[in-house]
Amino acid sequence: MTAIPPPPGPAPQTQQPPPAQPASSTQANVDRATAATEDLIDRGAPWSSRTSWTIVLAEGIVAGILGLIFLFKPLGGSATTLQLVGLVLLIGALITAFQLWRHRVRPDLEILAAFRAGSGTTVGLVVIMATFFAAVTEAVSAALAVIIGIGFIVFGLTGIAASFIRPGSAPLPMPSLVANAALAVAGAVLMFAGAAGSGAVDGIFNLLGILLIVAGLGLGGYAYLLRQQEMSGVRR
């Protein structure tokens, strides 16, 4: 008598991979904002191949307005001017920190960039906090001018050093070199003016105001040239 084989059991269940979790809307918004910021920084750099004439024109307008504020001081005296200078330094440092965070800085320049971002952030915050929460006397204004001058010197010298660190036979980035040299010189002038007293600081702010107005006019002219190139099809 032959044995009857048992009925076949249920087929083994194959494990299905867990469904992919959709990215959160918060992360998507952060990614979009980060990409937009990167694009804005790139298109606002005068030496970038993707420079937008509209952003350069906006930068020129901002430089001109800052120059007028430095020159005529309609919002107050040296305290307001110091706040604006500290804010400019802080914004520049935060842009550098953002580029480091997004790994947009070459590995051989990361140490210099981190030092630049840290020093600029420290000086900017010290100046802004001091002018907002303390009585700004003439002595305090002179001391803060020295601090800001040191911050600009550090900012400029690190930028100059980074300009000379080039991969292979890459050309020297002259626009970046000139801009950072101007920052270092402005910082030295501001530091010595602060050491000479608040009267000298006011005179230097007047000079910086004139230079900012000239820079704003220059950026406006450069924006016009970029616009003409875009309209003629030379660049897109």
Instruction: State yes or no: pLDDT of 111 exceeds 70.
Output: yes
Instruction: State yes or no: pLDDT of 2 exceeds 50.
Output: no
DSSP state of 50: T
Helix and strand numbers, DSSP H then E, in the chain: 7, 0
CA distance 49 to 45: 9
pLDDT of residue 202: 79
CA distance 217 to 67: 11
pLDDT of residue 203: 81
Structure-block tokens of residue 96: 């550098």
Whether the full predicted model's pTM is greater than 0.75, yes or no, is: no
Percent of the chain residues topping a pLDDT of 70: 76
pLDDT of residue 219: 81
pLDDT of residue 1: 45
Average pLDDT over residues 69-88: 77
pLDDT of residue 152: 86
What's CA 214's distance to the chain center, in Å? 21
- Average of per-residue pLDDT values in the chain: 76
Q: How many Cα atoms within 13 Å fall on the side-chain side of residue 124?
A: 19
Split at pLDDT 50, 70, 90, the class of 196 is confident
Q: pLDDT: is 59 or 207 the higher one?
A: 207
Lowest mean pLDDT of 21-30, 35-44, 156-165, name the range.
35-44
Q: Nearest-CA neighbor of 86 among 41, 133, 135, 152?
A: 152
Q: Is 50 exposed, middle or buried (0-12, 13-18, 19+ CB in 10 A)?
A: exposed
Q: Do the beta carbons of residue 39 and residue 185 sit within 8 Å? A: no
Instruction: State yes or no: pLDDT of 221 exceeds 50.
Output: yes
122-158 pLDDT per residue, tens: 988 988 888 777 777 778 888 888 888 898 898 889 8
32-61 pLDDT per residue, tens: 766 666 665 555 555 555 567 787 788 788
CA distance 89 to 117: 10
Instruction: State yes or no: pLDDT of 232 exceeds 60.
Output: yes
